[in-house]
Amino acid sequence: MTLISQRKRNTKENKKRGISTMALATVWTYCVPLTVILTAACLLNTAHCQAVQAENVEVLEGGTAHISCRLQDYDGSIVVIQNPRRQTLFFNGTRALKDDRFQMVLFTPRLVRIALTNVSVSDEGGYFCQLYTDSTHHQVATLSVNVPPEMPTVEPKQEVVEGGDAELTCVSPRSKPAATLRWVRNGREIQGVVSQQENGKTFSVSSTIRIPVERKDNGAALSCEALHPALNGQKKIRHYRLDVNFAPTVRIVPPSGILREGDSLSLTCSITGNPLPRSIQWSRINDSLPERAEISGPTLQISRLSQSHNGTYLCQAQNNFGRAADHYTLLVYENVSVTTMAPPTTHPITSRPTTSILPSPSFAPGPRDPGAVVETHSAVPYAVIGGVLALLVFTVICVLIVTIWCSVRQKGSYLTHEASGLDEHGEVQEAFLNGNDASQGKKEYLL
Ligand SMILES: *[C@@H]1O[C@H](CO)[C@@H](O)[C@H](O)[C@H]1NC(C)=O
Ligand SMILES: *[C@@H]1O[C@H](CO)[C@@H](O)[C@H](O)[C@H]1NC(C)=O
Ligand SMILES: *[C@@H]1O[C@H](CO)[C@@H](O)[C@H](O)[C@H]1NC(C)=O
Ligand SMILES: *[C@@H]1O[C@H](CO)[C@@H](O)[C@H](O)[C@H]1NC(C)=O
């Protein structure tokens, strides 16, 4: 019984001892190293922090960088500032390196500050603030220089011709960090092929787009935007207008109405094309241009037209991408109708001795002019026939009235004559009622 109980106690004691050893091991393996690390870190940290503290600086190229070293409990020890190449810039406030861009701005027991003007990317790196106490402490202030992009440039790869593709490259030659380029047309982005090249510390970026172009795209606006963190949300935007080459088009604006002898002709040739054809060629098909023709740019003028000017006139233009022509057929009509219709005072040909309303064969020799034909053959004969008809009808009415009046007055005394009188009367009445027939007959007779 006692043996058993002793064993039990032993096992109990063993158990107790095991637990305490485990706890100890745990503490030893975790807490102690942690404490040591923390203490060491704290010691190191406080040692450094308290002695000197440097701040990182970011500046734009060409700007001024302020590099500051904060001191704690400064005891008059020597402060040395070195550039990234470990050359001493200032030795306890005194310039050591001969570079006027560095200036000592401030030297107090709490703060040492130097300024670097006209910063370039080669100035980048760690600047050392060193405090020579019994043990040397130093901190590094990292200077980084940003280079915002200049206005990008846009260049077409080759001549842009209608029906082809325009290949445009936008280039931002220098930036740091690399700029982002964006192509935009009508407010929508066009995806470009971007390539980046590193030149020392800066980047050259380009973005190339390829777009199909038609004639209507000539002059279309595009833009290339350069985005960069140093631009503070602003963009450098290069505007570009598509220059699409195309063959010329030519159109002659014809004069309105019929041209007659003595009129002047003015033909204007309206041309398009890119590039706009520099010269326009006027010619007459199968003939030379009339002597009187005057050409000034797109306009051909012929004063005092004559029928010898009849012909087909051609306007031609060309550029490197093609040529085009338009033609106009000139027919000069005789000025006959103008002579007959216009009053003599305003007519240009007033030297004619007589002007008659009636056409005479010698004066109007049956021209082929349709307008003149209608006027000479219809207007004047109808007027004559109308007049004659009116006279005839008037005469008939008069005869009728006189006859009736006579018959009424003579009714009593000449009763025997009544039959013959009625006969006469009826004949006249018939003529009066069938006026058209009568007039036709009269017309035939008159003509
Ligand atoms: C370093 O310069 C500071 C400030 O001008 C001065 O107080 C200090 O005595 C100088 N220390 C030495 C060792 O010359
Ligand atoms: C700034 O530095 C650049 C070269 O890094 C130089 O070309 C330029 O003239 C300097 N500008 C000034 C104002 O000193
Ligand atoms: C020009 O002359 C040729 C040959 O004589 C002829 O075939 C052609 O029809 C003429 N063209 C015009 C517009 O008169
Ligand atoms: C010119 O054209 C008009 C109208 O067709 C015609 O009457 C005339 O005979 C033509 N003259 C010549 C010289 O061809």
Q: Which residue has the higher pLDDT, 357 or 77?
A: 77
Q: Average pLDDT, stretch 142-149?
A: 96
Pocket test for ligand 1, best of 69, 79, 92 (most atoms within 8 A of CB): 92
From the list 168, 156, 274, the residue with the least C-alpha distance to 215 is 274
Asked whether residue 272 falls in the same domain as residue 301, the answer is yes
Asked whether residue 161 falls in the same domain as residue 103, the answer is no
Residue 10 maps to a domain: no
- Ligand 2: distance of its center to the CA of 337 in Å? 87
Q: Average pLDDT, stretch 195-222?
A: 96
- Exposure string of 70-83, with b = 16+ CB inside 10 Å and e = fewer, is bbeebeebebbbbb
DSSP-based three-state secondary structure for 202 = strand
Atom of ligand 4 nearest to the CA of 331: 2
Q: Average pLDDT, stretch 211-228?
A: 96
Dihedral, CA atoms, 174, 179, 184, 187, nearest 10 degrees? -140
Q: CA 59, CA 65: separation in Å to the nearest integer?
A: 6
CATH of the domain at 326: 2.60.40.10
Q: What is the predicted pLDDT for the residue at 91?
A: 94
Asked whether residue 170 falls in the same domain as residue 212, the answer is yes
Asked whether residue 109 falls in the same domain as residue 71, the answer is yes
pTM of the model: 0.59
Instruction: Name the residue with the closest Cα to ligand 3, atom 5.
Output: 286
Structure confidence by residue, pLDDT tens digits, 22-33: 555 554 565 445
Q: Which residue has the higher pLDDT, 437 or 169?
A: 169
Report whether residue 370 contacts ligand 4, using a CB cutoff of 6 Å. no
Helix axes 418-433, 435-446, angle to 10 degrees: 80
Tokens of 343: 């009053």
Report whether residue 362 contacts ligand 3, using a CB cutoff of 6 Å. no
pLDDT at 113 over 50: yes
Residue 36 maps to a domain: no
Residue with tokens 């699409």: 244
pLDDT at 203 over 90: yes
| Cβ neighbours for 165, distance < 8 A, ≥ 6 positions apart | 210, 211, 212, 213
Instruction: Name the residue with the closest Cα to ligand 4, atom 2.
Output: 331
pLDDT at 436 over 70: no
pLDDT at 90 over 90: yes
Q: Average pLDDT, stretch 142-153?
A: 96
Q: CA 103, CA 117: separation in Å to the nearest integer?
A: 8
Write down which residue in 146, 164, 189 finishes a domain: 146
Residue 181 maps to a domain: yes
Structure confidence by residue, pLDDT tens digits, 187-196: 999 999 999 9
From the list 264, 299, 179, 267, the residue with the least C-alpha distance to 230 is 179
Write down which residue in 242, 273, 295 finishes a domain: 242
Candidate from 33-47, 216-230, 319-333 with smallest mean pLDDT: 33-47
Give φ, ψ of 285 to 5 degrees.
-65, 135
- Ligand 1: distance of its center to the CA of 208 in Å? 59
Tokens of 136: 């040397």
pLDDT at 343 over 80: no
Asked whether residue 158 falls in the same domain as residue 185, the answer is yes
- Ligand 2: distance of its center to the CA of 121 in Å? 12
Report whether residue 118 contacts ligand 2, using a CB cutoff of 6 Å. yes
Asked whether residue 79 falls in the same domain as residue 93, the answer is yes
Asked whether residue 255 falls in the same domain as residue 326, the answer is yes
Pocket test for ligand 2, best of 103, 118, 176 (most atoms within 8 A of CB): 118
- Ligand 3: distance of its center to the CA of 311 in Å? 11
Q: What is the mean pLDDT of the chain?
A: 76
Residue 304 maps to a domain: yes
Residue 233 maps to a domain: yes
Q: What is the predicted pLDDT for the residue at 31?
A: 46
- Ligand 1: distance of its center to the CA of 90 in Å? 12
Pocket test for ligand 4, best of 331, 337, 369, 373 (most atoms within 8 A of CB): 331
Asked whether residue 57 falls in the same domain as residue 136, the answer is yes
Asked whether residue 407 falls in the same domain as residue 437, the answer is yes
pLDDT at 261 over 50: yes
Q: Average pLDDT, stretch 92-98?
A: 91
- Minimum-distance ligand to the CA of 284? 3
Residue 293 maps to a domain: yes
Q: What is the predicted pLDDT for the residue at 187?
A: 94
Number of domains present in the structure of the chain: 4
pLDDT band at 387 (very low <50, low <70, confident <90, very high): low
Q: What is the predicted pLDDT for the residue at 383?
A: 54
Residue 404 maps to a domain: yes
Q: What is the predicted pLDDT for the residue at 378?
A: 38
Q: CA 89, CA 73: separation in Å to the nearest integer?
A: 23
Q: What is the predicted pLDDT for the residue at 29?
A: 60
Which residues does residue 401 pair with via DSSP β-bridges, in sequence order?
none
Asked whether residue 201 falls in the same domain as residue 261, the answer is no
Asked whether residue 404 falls in the same domain as residue 440, the answer is yes
Q: What is the predicted pLDDT for the residue at 82?
A: 93
Write down which residue in 92, 126, 146 finishes a domain: 146
| Segment holding 325, helix H or strand E | strand 322-330
Report whether residue 136 contacts ligand 4, using a CB cutoff of 6 Å. no
Residue 365 maps to a domain: no
Domain boundaries, position 408: 370-446
Asked whether residue 416 falls in the same domain as residue 438, the answer is yes
